[in-house]
Structures are given as structure tokens and as C-alpha cells.
Chain A
């Protein structure tokens, strides 16, 4: 069944044609053979009965005058018909009177003789009365082989086979030609479908060859293609417009944030109190880290996702520049990761805070190295690991990063929670702040 289902439509059509015609031919041949078998049997009975009547009529005098030799001679004439294997004449009392042939009916003369003919496995038996002027003189029995019927059936079988083969060949030839009427449009439609699949522009159209169901199918297919192409165009246009708009929005946000940062800068230049200057600079850095995000957003092909390595590099150089520590090296090392804006902004702010802390407190002598790393979590764990490590003086023992009163560390905690991460601190050989975060939980 699966084989039939997966058969190509050309073969299927041909198979249906061949099967239908073969069944019809077989039925016709069978009907003819059955009719011929019946009529041949009938005519065999009729012929044998006629022969029995003729031979019986020639035996009337022999029966009347009790001359078995004559009856025997009359029966012997049956030799001319080799299919008759036995013949017997019985007298009025049912006693055997004369006999001819190789076999005799084993059960003698049946009584009463009904029916007057009987088909055996391979022979036909006939009993006929011998009468003169309506008077029953005796019975004649003839037994004939059925080789004629068998020969005839065998010949019929041969003719049927030849006929079937010839008819099948003719059907095959005609079917081969005619199936194209059905299969060609389907195959052409299939070809069109393949072309559409390979060519995303939806410019291909199927060719129509008539107004039948397949023609309507082709019409429907083409109409569908037109609609898909139209919708595709509209969507593409709309998307392009939206992208332009989004870039514009990011651009403006970035500009506004840039303006804000500049304002904070200006403000800082007009303040003499060092602590206030410091506060304004921290705020400006926070604003800049966000402005950078928007700058990167509209700069990338894929709106909505931030290419982390570029962003972290720009962010680090921006923060480092603002502290002006020429002998402290800031080394960002980021895997090829892209984050959406909701994750990227907290990440950027955390890096900004931790890097700022390191630059502010870790290097009283103005010399050292800060490593910023963002990489994928080790095998078997989800999410990313963000590390900010310095080889500076280290956190004073009095400072607990988990419960610090400083705005920066509080911000880091809050932001880490936002991206489902937790801050750990390692104080050996400087300070190492590490956050293992998993942005997928937020979306899930």
C-alpha cells in the first residue's frame, strides 16, 4: 500500500488504466469461457444422445429377434468415433444384451435411469431408450471421453492468454499516450512549484492548459503566488520603513544621552568641589555607557541585538579615557556574543560600575591592569560569565561588596538581579568580581 502511495503519478495513472482494462478483459474472457463450457457440454450431450438414438434404432430388430451378434456388430460401428470409449445395449429387462469398448459402467444399468445423462470426472455417460412404434425395447448406453471439452477449454485458455497479452499491449500503448493528458499539467504544476521553492521572488507562474480541475488548480496556484508576492513586497517595504524608523529612534536617543553626558561634563567643569566633580563624572559615565548601547544598535545590521565584543571594547576605552590613568591597562576579552538591548544595558552599566571602581580605588600608584571578560558559561551550564578583575591593592577588608553602602555596588547588585545573575567577589591578588547571569530566564 505504501508502495502504491509513493508511486509516481505517471505510474499510478498507467497502473489504474492497466488494472481496469485487465480486470474487464479477464471478466469478459471468463464469461465467454463459462458460456462456451456450458454450451459445449450441452452440445456434447446432445450429440452423444443423437448418436445413441441412431445406434439404438439400428438395434431394434436385433432386440426383437434376440440377435445379440447383430447388436454387437451395430455397436462395433462406434469404432469410427474414437472418443466413445464404451457402448452397451440392454434389453427390456435391463439385462446386458450387447457390449462395445474398453469400459463398461461399473454399476450396470441404473434404475430408474434418471437423469439420462451424467458427467463424470473425465467422461460423459448417456442412456437412451430404444423404442419401436412407441414400444420400449431396451436401453442403449454410451460413454464418451471429454477430451473435446478439455481440448476446447485449453484452446480457449491459449486464445485468452494471447488476447490478454495483445489487448494489454494495445492498452499500454494507448494509456501511455493518453496518461499525459492528466499527468502533464500536474507535472508542469509540480515543476512550477519547484521553481518557486528555488526562487524566493515569487515571479514564476504555472502554465495553464485547460479549464478542467487542473486548470483551476493552476489558476488558484498562480493567484496564491501573486498574493504571496504582493504581501511579501508589502512586508518588506514595511519592515524597511520600520528599520529606518528604529535606527532614527536609536540615533536620537543616543544623541540625547550624548547631550546629557555633555551637560554633566559641562556641569563638572564649573564645580570646584572634588567630590561633586566625581559624582558628576560617574553619572556622565553611566549615561555614556547607555548612549553607547544605542550607538551600537543603530550601527549594526541586526536591530535589537548588541554585538558584545565591539560594545565592551568601546565602553572600556571610554571609561578608561575618562579616568586618564595612562599606566593602567584595560584589557577587554569578550567571546563572540550578541545580546538583546534589555540584557545589554544592565551588562554595560555593571561593567561601567565595576571598571570605574577598579580604576578609582585599586591603583593608588596609578599602575596596573584590569581584565574584563565576558564568556559563555562552562559546559553543562547555561548563560554567561562576566568577570572584572584587577591586580590592584584589593578591597579593604572593611568593605563587604554584598552589603556596601556605595551607590555603585548597590547598582551592580540590582542590575545583576535584573539579568538573573549573582555577584561573587574574590580578593586574592587584587579584586575579582564575577557575575554568572542567564538572560534566557528573563524571556522565559
Chain B
């Protein structure tokens, strides 16, 4: 059963936001990353039975997006609802979201944070170097001044998430060196 997130209108405009245009300045790094974050959902299949009425995004650590999500959401009235949460880094065992973004500020607690994400099918996305190699699933990196990402597909498989081949093709595939569970 293929599950898709019906966020068409919303995401369409997201990309518009990420797109440079004459009327707007070049989007900021976090505006682009916010758009990427929402778009990852289109190439990920969560296990059956996951409630996907609302796309829930958790941000661990200091929220670097500023009003990026607000801008996007503000521009997409009537789109797929997106809920942004800010769970405490100290206790993530009860958090229930589809995508968990770990900001750069939480890099020192990374191992602990990752250990606490095994209870549910969450796509972990990190903003720091070596996030995927450390056991995260998708890590933002910079290549030639462009935002790219690394993917640890083993970690995603462990979390029962299926990543689309199209997404994998765009990513640098890394490994965390075996089962560290």
C-alpha cells in the first residue's frame, strides 16, 4: 500500500518560496531547508497505520528556521496541515512526529537523541556534519555552495521507513558502520 502525503497545494507553493524570483530575494538557507524538509515527506513511506492526517515536524534544539515555516504556511491556506513541535531534547521518548529535525545546537547530545528515536517510525534529519554517519537518516550538507544531503538508508530501513529511489539518487549514501542498536 503506497501512502502519499496529499500536500500538493502546500508543497507547490513551498517550492515557489524556494525558487529565486524577481520579486523576492534569494531564499535563505533555512527557507530552502524548510522546503526540503517538507518535500522529503513526498519520497518517504511511513509504515501502514501511521496517522498522516497532519504532517508533524519536531524540531530538537534551537529552532533555526525563524519564520520560514510561518512564511510557507502563511502562503498556503487550505493546504495539508503542518504541525511544528518543539519537543525537549532531554526526553524524546514520548514524542510522536513524522520528521524529527535535529538542529546544530543539539549536536553534542546527538547520540542520546538518536537513541531515543527508536520507539517510532520517525525520519530523522540533522543539520550538522556527520549526522547520517552517526546513525541519523538524512543529513544536510553543503556541496559547491548548494544544499545537498547524505542518507543513511540502513538507519531508515531499521525504522521501517521506505525511502524512494529518486530521493536516494540525489543523496550521498553513507553508512553508520553496522547495527548499533
Binds A, one of B11-19, B93-101, B102-110, B128-136: B11-19
Query: A134 CA to B11 CA in the complex, in Å?
Result: 11
In the complex, are the beta carbons of B148 and A133 less than 8 A apart? no
Q: Does A27 have its Cβ within 8 Å of any Cβ on chain B?
A: no
Min C-beta distance of B117 to chain A, whole Å: 23
The 0/1 profile, CB within 8 Å of A marked 1, for residues 141-165 of chain B is 0000011110000000000000010
In the complex, are the beta carbons of A58 and B19 less than 8 A apart? no
In the complex, are the beta carbons of A60 and B166 less than 8 A apart? yes
How many A-B contacts if CB must be within 8 Å? 41
In the complex, are the beta carbons of A91 and B19 less than 8 A apart? yes
Min C-beta distance of B91 to chain A, whole Å: 33
Of residues 40 through 65 on chain A, the ones whose CB sits less than 8 Å from some CB of chain B are 58, 60-62, 64-65
Query: A61 CA to B149 CA in the complex, in Å?
Result: 13
Query: A379 CA to B8 CA in the complex, in Å?
Result: 123
Q: Does A244 have its Cβ within 8 Å of any Cβ on chain B?
A: no
Query: A67 CA to B147 CA in the complex, in Å?
Result: 9
By a CB distance below 8 angstroms, the chain A residues around B170 are 61-62, 65, 67, 70
Q: Does B21 have its Cβ within 8 Å of any Cβ on chain A?
A: yes
Query: A130 CA to B17 CA in the complex, in Å?
Result: 19
Chain B residue with Cβ nearest A74 = B169
The 0/1 profile, CB within 8 Å of B marked 1, for residues 51-92 of chain A is 000000010111011110010000000000000000000011
Among B4, B12, B148, B166, the residue within 8 A (CB) of A61 is B166
In the complex, are the beta carbons of A65 and B36 less than 8 A apart? yes
Query: A357 CA to B55 CA in the complex, in Å?
Result: 163
Interface size on A, residues (CB 8 A): 18
Interface size on B, residues (CB 8 A): 24
Query: A135 CA to B4 CA in the complex, in Å?
Result: 13
In the complex, are the beta carbons of B39 and A64 less than 8 A apart? yes
By a CB distance below 8 angstroms, the chain B residues around A93 are 19, 21
In the complex, are the beta carbons of A64 and B42 less than 8 A apart? yes
Q: Does B43 have its Cβ within 8 Å of any Cβ on chain A?
A: yes
Q: Does B92 have its Cβ within 8 Å of any Cβ on chain A?
A: no
In the complex, are the beta carbons of B18 and A66 less than 8 A apart? yes
The 0/1 profile, CB within 8 Å of B marked 1, for residues 391-410 of chain A is 00000000000000000000
Query: A60 CA to B19 CA in the complex, in Å?
Result: 15
Q: A61-B43, A61-B166 are in contact. Are A67 and B15 (CB under 8 A)?
A: no
Min C-beta distance of B43 to chain A, whole Å: 6
Query: A388 CA to B167 CA in the complex, in Å?
Result: 144
By a CB distance below 8 angstroms, the chain B residues around A65 are 36, 39, 149, 170
Of residues 75 through 96 on chain B, the ones whose CB sits less than 8 Å from some CB of chain A are none
Q: A67-B148, A70-B170 are in contact. Are A61 and B8 (CB under 8 A)?
A: no
Among A58, A62, A66, A133, the residue within 8 A (CB) of B42 is A133
Among A61, A66, A135, the residue within 8 A (CB) of B146 is A66
Among A92, A133, A135, the residue within 8 A (CB) of B19 is A92
In the complex, are the beta carbons of B39 and A92 less than 8 A apart? no
Chain A residue with Cβ nearest B9 = A135
Q: A67-B170, A132-B42, A133-B4 are in contact. Are A61 and B19 (CB under 8 A)?
A: no
Chain A residue with Cβ nearest B12 = A135
Query: A244 CA to B179 CA in the complex, in Å?
Result: 148
In the complex, are the beta carbons of A64 and B4 less than 8 A apart? no
Q: Does B173 have its Cβ within 8 Å of any Cβ on chain A?
A: no
Chain B residue with Cβ nearest A57 = B166
By a CB distance below 8 angstroms, the chain B residues around A70 are 169-170
In the complex, are the beta carbons of B15 and A61 less than 8 A apart? no
Q: Does B34 have its Cβ within 8 Å of any Cβ on chain A?
A: no
By a CB distance below 8 angstroms, the chain B residues around A64 are 15, 39, 42
The 0/1 profile, CB within 8 Å of A marked 1, for residues 36-65 of chain B is 100100110000000000000000000000
In the complex, are the beta carbons of A61 and B164 less than 8 A apart? yes
By a CB distance below 8 angstroms, the chain A residues around B148 are 67
Of residues 233 through 260 on chain A, the ones whose CB sits less than 8 Å from some CB of chain B are none
The 0/1 profile, CB within 8 Å of A marked 1, for residues 1-41 of chain B is 00010101001100110110100000000001000100100
Central interface residue in A62, A65, A67, by most chain B CB within 10 Å: A65
In the complex, are the beta carbons of A133 and B166 less than 8 A apart? no
The 0/1 profile, CB within 8 Å of B marked 1, for residues 135-146 of chain A is 111000000000
By a CB distance below 8 angstroms, the chain A residues around B166 are 58, 60-61
Chain B residue with Cβ nearest A71 = B170
Chain A residue with Cβ nearest B164 = A61
Of residues 97 through 143 on chain A, the ones whose CB sits less than 8 Å from some CB of chain B are 132-137
Central interface residue in A61, A91, A93, A137, by most chain B CB within 10 Å: A61
Min C-beta distance of A92 to chain B, whole Å: 7
17 A-B pairs within 8 Å (CB atoms) are namely A60-B166, A61-B43, A61-B164, A61-B166, A64-B39, A64-B42, A65-B36, A66-B32, A70-B170, A92-B15, A92-B16, A92-B19, A93-B19, A133-B6, A133-B8, A134-B8, A135-B8
New A-B pairs, 13, CB < 8 Å, besides A60-B166, A70-B170? A61-B164, A61-B169, A61-B170, A65-B149, A66-B18, A70-B169, A93-B19, A132-B42, A133-B4, A133-B6, A133-B8, A134-B8, A135-B11
By Cβ-Cβ distance, the 7 closest A-B pairs, closest first, are A61-B166, A135-B8, A135-B12, A67-B170, A64-B39, A70-B170, A65-B170
